[in-house]
Structure 1
């Protein structure tokens, strides 16, 4: 049998499940990260890429950062440029859903193929080290006095930290439409603005700010979790009398037009990666909560999240 015929036979058997994934050579994965370097999506995507290679699920992983519009620019590039590509992945999550709700981009997430939810992460609000404010109570007092004077820095409009800021305002009796939210294209830009004192208060995932909190360059004043995070001595908003709890999850989608066997193969690759020691190390290092979900359950979860976020944002005056 000719070599090319043999390889085609192997591919056909693998696609039908007759051969396990490892019977074929590991693929070269292309990872689209719809954000600038340095943010939560970037950290997640690169950690997953390393895990894919360390677990031998992928031979190589290349990364392409395309930030802007809460991931909508990257989503458009992914949808238009990777159709039927069984080795393409795009990082996404709650932020992208919020951005789609507020921005109404011409492309839709439903055009791509759901693969897996990976992790969940709560937001932390921080102050620059030299801020005249010391606590969330100080920020709230100023917010009540003059809402526009408090600059909230974070990710794109519709990001979970944006939603949380609007919810905080609403809970303390301030019109959420009056908050002064400064959106940045990526976590790196937001971090620089906070460190430079260009915003009053910043919000993002704990993994992005943890190094700066640890070395004293940022002061953490509240987390959006139900209870204090393990090993992180930062009070929740709830225990400070502000009834706000909101999580930020991240996952991956595949290209448009994948067949059922291709979707399963890509899902199996991701599941192999998240079982690796490399991925477990990243979860621990970044204070992530494992939240793996695949298949129809993930499809339903995304639909439910769209509905839930839309309701929260409408109630908070954001849409």
Structure 2
């Protein structure tokens, strides 16, 4: 692990600098480490540092450190915590998780995220938009659907890394439309600029990506939005939702927090209480608004059950996309498709 930054402000010093004290209950944790994977495709770079800052400024912890975790994304829930055993209130550790980690664990045939760690909370989400160049012949989502149904193999869609949130969403869209998911053509790019270049030069016909990140290009008229994955329309993006387009699907590239697998009941309760206070903190809500993140808070047993369902759904799509040999939750030998 490599330290990204160490925030040494105590709650009292933060108050002296003009920071609020959250809900007035005082620091829940003396020292907290927020681990953030650095593997390509994780998609939530920098959130650990921002969260650590809010935690100290809001008086929820005395000190917080954002720590980069450079291991494999799929095994991060199993490996990142090491031999750490708490107690959480004295020195806690949290791991940033997101949909790409769920998919990576399935593709790598390691323990599912929900089983390899303690699911604590889903914090925020980032909606996805399907865009084409302003001069594209695909004027509407209906045009896109018609072409996809006519010949899926002729329509290449780009997005973030293969097997990641955009790829899984494209598979879900194809499935909902009755298209043979195995025929979908997808090109994954680790760098947003590479995906944008691929769209500009015509290597891909359309692009799936963060609505938050692509909005400036949409507002400037350089990209045309066809549909968004949110349940309601997004301000500044003139495009219908998938639900409005008769695709019964709502999908968010979510981000949340995990604890060590073997947390004691007391440590889990303390961690869940901290997550509740994070979501309620005005400074956290202000940060979400400024970053364009949607608060999709879900914690404890409800988050665990949701994560089980989401893992099964993701695994099924990965199998249909040809990235896994089996859609079963447990495979004998490797579940990864071999050439």
TM-score range normalised by the length of the shorter chain: 0.7 to 0.9
Shift of 1:107: 6.8
Q: Which runs of structure 2 are paired with 1:126-275 in the superposition (5 Å)?
A: 126-129=131-134, 131=136, 133-185=138-190, 189-197=191-199, 198-230=203-235, 232-275=237-280
Point out the more displaced range, 220-229 or 209-218: 209-218
Count of equivalent residues: 293
- Please say if 1:60 is aligned against 2:64: yes
Shift of 1:163: 2.6
Instruction: Label 1:107 to 1:248 Cα distance change in 2 as closer, same or farther (>3 A).
Output: closer
Partner of 1:7: none
Shift of 1:57: 2.4
Normalised to the residue count of structure 1, the TM-score between the two structures is 0.74
SS in 2 for 1:239: coil
The CA distance in 2 between the partners of 1:72 and 1:247, in whole Å, is 20
The CA distance in 2 between the partners of 1:53 and 1:23, in whole Å, is 9
Contact 2:218 2:237 in 1 (8 A): no
The CA distance in 1 between the partners of 2:136 and 2:184, in whole Å, is 19
- Please say if 1:119 is aligned against 2:124: yes
Shift of 1:179: 0.9
Partner of 2:36: 32
Partner of 2:85: 84
The CA distance in 1 between the partners of 2:268 and 2:102, in whole Å, is 21
Contact 1:21 1:265 in 2 (8 A): no
Partner of 2:4: none
Contact 1:112 1:255 in 2 (8 A): yes
Partner of 1:5: none
Q: Deviations over 1:241-277 (max 9, x none)?
A: 4444333432110133332222233333333332223
Instruction: Label 1:50 to 1:221 Cα distance change in 2 as closer, same or farther (>3 A).
Output: farther
SS in 2 for 1:72: coil
Shift of 1:128: 4.1
Partner of 1:6: none
SS in 2 for 1:162: helix
Instruction: Label 1:140 to 1:23 Cα distance change in 2 as closer, same or farther (>3 A).
Output: closer
Q: Deviations over 1:146-202 (max 9, x none)?
A: 4233222233444342232123323444311111122344xxx14531244253322
Q: Deviations over 1:108-142 (max 9, x none)?
A: 54221222111244321122456554433343344
Unaligned 5+ residue runs, structure 2?
1-23, 328-339
Normalised to the residue count of structure 2, the TM-score between the two structures is 0.70
Higher relative contact order (CA closer than 8 Å, sequence separation 6+): 1
The CA distance in 1 between the partners of 2:231 and 2:208, in whole Å, is 17
The CA distance in 2 between the partners of 1:63 and 1:74, in whole Å, is 13
The CA distance in 2 between the partners of 1:203 and 1:173, in whole Å, is 19
The CA distance in 1 between the partners of 2:29 and 2:230, in whole Å, is 42
Q: Which runs of structure 2 are paired with 1:240-319 in the superposition (5 Å)?
A: 240-310=245-315, 319=327
Contact 2:48 2:66 in 1 (8 A): no
The CA distance in 1 between the partners of 2:71 and 2:206, in whole Å, is 22
Contact 1:147 1:178 in 2 (8 A): yes
The CA distance in 2 between the partners of 1:213 and 1:314, in whole Å, is 33
